[in-house]
A = this chain, B = another copy of it.
Amino acid sequence: MRVHHLYSGGKDSSLAAWILSQMGYEVELVTVTFGLLDNWKYAQETAERLGFRHRVLSLPLEVLEKAAEMAVNDGHPNNAIQFIHERALEALASLPEVERVSDGTRRDDRVPLLDLPKARSLEDRFNVAYIRPLLGLGYKTIRELTERLFVVDIRESEELQKADYEVELRHLLREKGIDPLEIFPKRHYQSRVLGWKREIRAQG
């Protein structure tokens, strides 16, 4: 039972990967890149430290271009992040060897988050199962589990070395002469997992 799990190296996607492995799935972590930066390497590094298999999935630069346009028009990044995440899930689900896709989206997230019709549509269009281990968990539960499991580095988004969609999106905006700080929230903390806290081993 292999599951392909969208992975940034952050605490949410790491926690979801651990839960999947505890549920008996063979977990393969997948990090998206648009080829602008090599920040996917941070996710690969964390995946290695946690003992999970890892691969990189290239998405067309046009997806990021479209997302940047949405972010500029909207003045905030929410729809852009949602757009990228949906395209990432579709690209992953369309690979012939993929039967199950998953991610670290949570109950309390606004974006990215697929509503019920979108989740079912993804499953039906690509004949996959879509698994979201954190969807039924609130922030208290996620905090207590991540604190128990992981050593985490939390910093402002602009400082953190991370394999998030956001990093390439900010980069592309800067290339276009747009200050990301005009679009992204000022104080926006992101997390990166550095390793297991104790003698916990991934089974994936």
Contacts and interface: CB of A to CB of B under 8 A. Distances in A.
Interface of A: 1, 19, 22-24, 100, 105, 107-108, 116, 119-120, 123, 129-138, 140-141, 144-145, 148
Contacts of A23: 19, 22, 145
Contact of A129 (B24, B135, B138, B148): B138
Contacts of A105: 136
Nearest to A130: B138
B133 A140 contact: no
28 contacts: A1-B144, A19-B19, A19-B23, A22-B22, A23-B145, A24-B145, A24-B148, A107-B116, A107-B119, A107-B135, A108-B116, A119-B138, A120-B138, A123-B138, A123-B140, A129-B138, A129-B140, A129-B141, A129-B144, A130-B138, A131-B137, A131-B138, A131-B141, A132-B136, A132-B137, A133-B136, A134-B136, A135-B135
Given A129-B144, A131-B136, 4 more contacts: A1-B144, A19-B23, A107-B135, A132-B136
Nearest to A100: B141
Given A22-B23, A24-B148, A148-B24, A135 B138 contact: no
A190 to B, nearest CB: 22
Contacts of A136: 105, 131-136
A27 to B, nearest CB: 13
